[in-house]
Amino acid sequence: MADRASDMRQDFPILAREHRGRPLVYLDNAATTQKPQVVIDAIAEYYAQHNANVHRAAHILAEEATQLMEEARDLAQGFVHAAHREEIVFTRGTTEAVNLVANILAAELSHEDEILITEMEHHSNIVPWQMLAQRTGASLLAVKVLPNGDLDLEDFQNKLSEKTKVFTCNHVSNALGTVNPVQDLVAHARAVGAYTLIDGAQASLHEHIDVQALGCDFYALSGHKMFAPTGIGVLYGRLGLLESLPPWHGGGEMIEHVTIETSTYQKPPFKYEAGTPNIAGAVGLGAAIKYLNELPLDDLIAQEQQLVANTLSALKQLPGLRLVGEPKQRTAVISFLLEDAHPHDVGTLLDQQGVALRTGHHCTMPLMQALGIPGTVRASFSLYSTQTDADHLLAAVDKATTFL
Ligand SMILES: Cc1ncc(COP(=O)(O)O)c(C=O)c1O
């Protein structure tokens, strides 16, 4: 197969950078991805030619800015395969999307209800539910994770009940790369009448996302993890729910009519987009989705899968290396430990050799507690990662073991 990842790298100026006299090996893509020139250009062009506030003034710039932002909404709708453009709410990212959902569901919960999450959630899909539980008196339960990094599906069945009012989990784990069987989980949760939210932050580049096929009520993603800028994300919400649930933030843009005493609200999605939105961010997200739409995504994902599989086999050969999590299905994340070395020390040694990756708890402290470890060293790949990146990683890890 032609090396499409290498071709793609030409589109990302930062990937040509050097660090410590060698090409930068960027394997921290689960934290954030790099940006292609088309996204950088779209943001610059927006500010240079079209900047204005949206949905308000009747002048040409406002018209153009509004059009660009609404085009981005259409592109996002296509990306997640939502049935209606009104189901696409722009947020700052996954974290804000989860907080939005947790807040608009508050009136639906009482002290008799349960919120079901999992032990492998990112803190952004734990803390908002703790806050909701404290506010409503509902109980918070978490599905256990098996030692190999898969969800314990028996525990899921045991904990899911008529009391479950909300079920949420990630599509892909940022710490272990586990791909969760979200379609099945959602079907079971909906059968007991629970609202369902899928955290798609780590799935958006590596999995095909079809919210209608998944059947979930809400799906959240972050633009910066899929080649778009920081500060922009998408919350998909089922239209009927966005129509019937209350707004969260109040302010300009989300209202229809305001008196001193009361207000009426816009229809979705604007009901959930109070204040001046991140217009440039939305434009950048639109450009990133357009860029993705033009890529041979299936081939690139297959190539990435192969690269991850090869790297896993090679890592396993290194003495003293322990993989953390060997889930049945994984995407582009590999977590490991070296002997008894602290992950931070390993990270420093790898950085000294020009390999950029992440160490620590990856904002998943409960998962680390469940696995009985303080953290991991995490290499996370993207569609532009190549065998050269993997070779550098393997050589650097091999060398690090000699220092430890
Ligand atoms: C699985 C998962 N969920 C949620 C988040 C939070 O995303 P953001 O910080 O973009 O809101 C992350 C970020 O790393 C993540 O990996």
Residue 372 sits in a domain whose CATH number is 3.90.1150.10
Instruction: Give strand pairing partners of 115.
Output: 140, 166
Q: Is the pLDDT of residue 3 over 90?
A: no
Q: Is the pLDDT of residue 404 over 80?
A: no
Ligand 1 atom closest to 97 (CA): 11
Stretch 54-73: mean pLDDT: 93
Residue where a domain stops, chosen among 259, 293, 327: 293
Residues 150 and 98 both lie in one domain = yes
Q: Best substitution site from 121, 122, 197 to test ligand 1's pocket, by max atoms within 8 Å of Cβ?
A: 122
Residues 25 and 68 both lie in one domain = no
Residue 150 lies in a domain: yes
Residues 120 and 208 both lie in one domain = yes
Residue 35 lies in a domain: no
Q: Is the pLDDT of residue 56 over 80?
A: no
| Å from CA of 370 to ligand 1 middle | 20
Residue where a domain stops, chosen among 293, 311, 333: 293
Residue where a domain stops, chosen among 293, 309, 327: 293
User: 18-19 and 321-323: which strand pairing?
Assistant: unpaired
User: Domain holding 278: CATH number?
Assistant: 3.40.640.10
d(C-alpha 30, C-alpha 171), whole Å:
13
The Cβ of residue 316 has, within 10 Å, a number of other Cβ atoms equal to: 12
Residues 288 and 304 both lie in one domain = no
**Which tokens is 163 given?**
């009391």
Collect all residues with Cβ–Cβ distance below 8 Å to 282 and sequence separation of at least 6: 68, 69, 72, 73, 90, 232
**The model's pTM:** 0.97
Residue 216 bears catalytic tag? no
Residue 154, sorted as left (phi over 0), alpha (psi -120 to 50) or beta, turns out to be alpha
pLDDT of res. 2: 61
| Å from CA of 31 to ligand 1 middle | 8
Give the CA distances from residue 54 to residues 75, 97, 223, 289, in Å, rounded to whole numbers and listed in that order: 18, 21, 20, 21
Task: Report pLDDT digits (tens) over 127-139.
Answer: 999 999 999 999 9
Stretch 35-48: mean pLDDT: 98
Residues 261 and 306 both lie in one domain = no
Residues 140 and 236 both lie in one domain = yes
| Å from CA of 20 to ligand 1 middle | 29
Taking the alpha carbons of 171, 177, 179, 185 in that order, is the dihedral positive or negative? negative
| Å from CA of 365 to ligand 1 middle | 14
Task: Report pLDDT digits (tens) over 296-350.
Answer: 999 999 999 999 999 999 999 999 999 999 999 999 999 999 988 999 999 999 9
Residues 73 and 150 both lie in one domain = yes
Ligand 1 atom closest to 233 (CA): 10
Residue 350 lies in a domain: yes
Domain that holds residue 361: 4-30+296-403
Of all protein residues, whose CA lies closest to atom 7 belonging to ligand 1? 94
Of all protein residues, whose CA lies closest to atom 12 belonging to ligand 1? 201
The full length of the chain comes to 404
Residues 137 and 226 both lie in one domain = yes
Task: Report pLDDT digits (tens) over 386-395.
Answer: 999 999 999 9
DSSP assignment string, 338-366: ETT--HHHHHHHHHHTTEE-EEE-TT-HH
Residues 289 and 304 both lie in one domain = no
Residues 315 and 256 both lie in one domain = no
Residue 393 lies in a domain: yes
Residue 117 lies in a domain: yes
Of all protein residues, whose CA lies closest to atom 16 belonging to ligand 1? 174
Terminal-residue alpha carbon distance, the chain: 38
Say how far residue 338 (Cα) sits from the centre of its chain.
27
Residues 281 and 311 both lie in one domain = no
Taking the alpha carbons of 232, 238, 239, 245 in that order, is the dihedral positive or negative? negative
Residue 354 lies in a domain: yes
pLDDT of res. 60: 94
pLDDT of res. 23: 85
- Could you check whether the bond before residue 128 is cis, i.e. omega within 30 degrees of 0? no
Greatest Cα pair distance, the chain, in angstroms, is 71
User: 164-170 and 114-118: which strand pairing?
Assistant: parallel
Of all protein residues, whose CA lies closest to atom 14 belonging to ligand 1? 31
Stretch 189-218: mean pLDDT: 97
Please report which helix (H) or strand (E) contains residue 199, including its range.
Answer: strand 195-199
Residue 261 lies in a domain: yes
User: 164-170 and 139-143: which strand pairing?
Assistant: unpaired
Ligand 1 atom closest to 199 (CA): 3
Q: Is the pLDDT of residue 1 over 50?
A: no
Ligand 1: list residues with CB < 6 Å.
Answer: 30, 93-95, 122, 124-125, 170, 174, 199, 201-202, 222
Specify the 3-state DSSP secondary structure of 281: helix
Residues 205 and 78 both lie in one domain = yes
Residue 200 lies in a domain: yes
Q: Is the pLDDT of residue 295 over 90?
A: yes
Considering 106, 295, 314, 363, which one is annotated as catalytic?
A: 363
Q: How many domains does the chain have?
A: 2
| Å from CA of 183 to ligand 1 middle | 20
Task: Report pLDDT digits (tens) over 153-187.
Answer: 999 999 999 999 999 999 999 999 999 999 999 99
Ligand 1 atom closest to 32 (CA): 14
d(C-alpha 391, C-alpha 235), whole Å:
37
Average pLDDT value for the chain:
96
d(C-alpha 366, C-alpha 360), whole Å:
13
